[in-house]
Structure 1
Amino acid sequence: MTKSKLKKKERIDQLFSTDVKIIQNKEVFSYSVDSVLLSRFPKFPSKGLIVDLCSGNGAVGLFASTQTKAKIIEIELQKRLANMAQRSIELNQLQNQVSMINDDLKNLMQYVPRSGVDLIICNPPYFKATKTSKKNLSEHYLLARHEIATNLKEICKVSQQALKTNGRLAIVHRPDRFLEIIATLQKYKLAPKRIQFVYPKLGKEANMLLIEAIKDGSADGLKILPPLIVHKDNGDYTDDVFEIYFGKKQAGKKGYMYVLKCSDNTLYTGYTTDIKKRVSTHNSGKGAKYTKARLPVELIYWEEFPTKEAAMRAESIFKQKTRAQKLNYIEEQKQKNSLL
């Protein structure tokens, strides 16, 4: 899929610890850190069936596909979001593993066998729909964030119907609803087993909560995991969260952000630890799918960083620029270096 096939204001983002790419639109829906953390929190079955409820643009289920060979069914009520997810499935060529259903999660039992699901993952609406609720003007965000189309009770009810005995439900939610979440899980015979509080920074109050529960499990064996802190004081990700986003750090290796001009005059940006080898790989047709159809490519700019991870961050930022902004940046950097 090329950018020409994206809809207006859509972009493609990537979780750099994987090859998975997600179609995003900040005016419609974009995944955030809660989706990323949820996709790495549960104990994934090696095979079987996984359901992603309230799947939005499909990010959680698609990221989860790298953790298991199980079939993954995503279900999303909003047609616009379901369409984005379906195109992301096709973009990643995951049609044999991941499928999207555009329907209300109340109808889940029409698509899966009763008591036949191994794991359900869900990033649900966090806020109750009351007269005093702070509503987002976007219809898409309104439904995604507020309990208008579904709620915690319905999610637990359908999970009880769909999960196998000892099947698991993993959700991300708000700490201020912790007691309600525990009570609702227990009402539907879903025993909480693993809980982790997530903090934006050290010394701040928790703003997220990850919970994994087991259907028909005993009340014993609950584990409170160590707190997960997202950001350091300077705003960078902590090592734990950095690894989730970018993979394990490779000590001692420099990284490079590079820009190629393709045969059709389009630009391609990437990162590597060996520029010469990487450009050669692209021109041999064994690099990215994008460059494979646009050979030969020419290296027009590169920038060195102390680590591969720093180069990955630079690549991510650079990709958000327009073509004109990219070319201006390259020219400015070249002029700056010529004065050194």
Structure 2
Amino acid sequence: MEASETIEKNRLKFFPIMMYAIVMGLSGLTIMYQKAVSTLSFPEWIALGLMALSTIVFVVISVIYVVKFFTYKEAVKKEFTHPVRINFFAAVSISMLMLAIVYKEQQESIAALFWYAGVALHFYLTLHTISYWINNNQELAHSNPAWLIPIVGNVLVPIGGVGFAPQGVLLYFFSVGIFFWVILFAILFNRIIFHHQLANKFMPTLFILIAPPAVGFLAYVKMFGVIDLFANILFDLALFFTLLIAFLYKNFIKIKFFISWWAFVFPLAAMGISAMVMYAHTKDLFLLYLSYTMVGVTTAVIAVVLYQTLIHMQKGEVCIQE
């Protein structure tokens, strides 16, 4: 009995902040199906079910992590100062911002609660993360596409923020996200090409490369309501990275399961939503086929990732010391 209690306590101690990537994945899938209801005439019950699931998972993970904070403060502090894990704390605020988008058309008061809390937290985490990078020497080996999460996550703010904040505020977050996307991508591309390959556990984070242009496209269209040259550039870059990841499929087939697998889902969902938004504006048949393809691929990927997560949880291979 004591041994099992010790194991449970250790699992709580090693409960990773990366678990919020699950919420990001489920929320992205929810928004994609919400868009599919209006664009592709999908049944609404799927989106409603996913909305409930995303919310429940967010609440459960948040409760567990709060308990961990009060029980193992040193463990949380260690994560918050870890050169890699620090980037995943922004997954908390991004989860809130995504849930704000999920609820925007259903319950605006709930959406506002998530959005204002998410913006405040993400504003702090952006400044904290950049300050951490400036005040601490960073090793090139620690760099990976997860670096994009806390900074480029700013472009997500305008999507749910229309109606909640002035255009100038939304443009501030959009500008910060786009600016640092270019800078960080250059750093990461240099690291990937000229230095050691990414560790297997970080290979799924390559999917994050799809997210900045895809989310940037959605934010730009949401703010200005037009598909102009800049919007087309963002969409085409998102499409390019999606095709590149598909071309690299062999890199992902045999890698061992890690919670970082959830990094597969959100970027694919963002690309699917972008394709549907572009189709709604242009009625291009290629974009219609692309929309159906992205919905199918994202659904299949999340089914595999969810299954693997549950299997490894049952085996006790999640929330262990690395």
Q: State whether TM-score is above 0.5.
A: no
TM-score, normalization: structure 1?
0.26
TM-score by length of 2: 0.27
Q: Normalized per residue, which structure has more helix?
A: 2
Q: Which has the higher strand share?
A: 1
The one of the two structures with greater contact order (alpha-carbon pairs below 8 A, sep at least 6) is 2
Please tell me whether Structure 1 or Structure 2 has the larger radius of gyration of its CA atoms: 1
